[in-house]
Amino acid sequence: MSPEPISKTHRIVITGAPASGKSDFLARLRGESFCRDLVFLPEIARSLLESNPDYRHNWGVFHREVYRRQTAQEDALVDQSFITDRGTCDAFAFHPETAADVGTTIAREYARYNLVIQLESAANLGAEFYVQDDVRIESIEDVLAIEAVTTRVWHEHPDYRFVPAEEDVEVKYRRVVEILRGRLG
């Protein structure tokens, strides 16, 4: 009997609290030759909040919609490799009831991905490293709380990697590149 074929499909999550570098790093990774075969999926939560700030008044509806859109965009890729700005479990970090609401479990969602990289928020380095904007309105204390729940929901994934915040963002970016090169070749 021959062994099971090894999947060449990479399903990678880049996650983290606000100001962790997700969007900037993903934009830079698009230009890396070793990432050329990946489909880059955008963060859904931010775009929903930009298009409809009223979601902030109904978090349950918001996180179910994030989950629905996240799974739809991932499932549409079938056997294509992707890297996504946040994954399905992020909705559960912010709103734990979402898993039951959509009829899934953390274990089932972990199986969707074969690598999770959590970027630590620059908020951990102090106020001078944390920049708010029209959508990123959380206080440093709120960001640190979000980071704690994000870590709690993802840290048991079989291939979870945590990349600490650095005053020199290039050090942090090189660490992410090192992890991805190790996975993608």
Domains of the chain in start order, with CATH, are 11-184 (3.40.50.300)
Which of 10-14, 74-78, 136-140, 181-185 has the lowest average pLDDT? 136-140
- The whole-model pTM stands at 0.91
How many CA atoms within 13 Å lie on the side-chain side of 20? 25
Q: How does pLDDT run across 58-73, given as a tens digit for each residue? A: 888 999 999 999 999 9
Q: Which residues pair with 118 in a beta bridge?
A: 15, 162
d(CA 48, CA 39): 21
Please give the single-letter amino acid code of residue 79. D
Give the pLDDT confidence score for residue 137 in this predicted structure. Answer: 67
Q: Which residues of 12-42 are buried (b: 16+ CB within 10 A; e: fewer)?
A: bbbbbbbbbbbeebbeebeeeeebeebeebe
